[in-house]
Amino acid sequence: MTTISISLEEEEVAQLAQKARELGYDSVGSFVQKTVQRLLETEETSKKRQQPSEQEFSEAMHYVLEKNTELYRRLA
C-alpha cells in the first residue's frame, strides 16, 4: 500500500472532518480513503456501461423494427 500526502487549507480539513463525522467515519483519513475507492469504482462502472456504437444501435433498431413490423401494421 502507498501513502499519499496532500496539502489542504485548515478550513478544508475542518469541512472534511465535519463530513466524516456526519457520515459516521471515525477519521478523516478513513473517510477520504473510502471516498477515493468509491470514485474509482464509479469510474470503472461507467467504463463498463459505455454507449453502443452507431452501428450496434442501428442494427438493434432495425432488428426491433423488422421483428415488430406486423404489430406496427395492425396498430396503424
Q: Where exactly are the structural domains of the chain?
A: 10-75
d(CA 41, CA 22): 22
Using 50 as the pLDDT threshold, list the residues of the chain that sit under it.
none
Q: What is the pLDDT of residue 76?
A: 79
pTM check: above 0.75: no
One-letter amino acid of 1: M
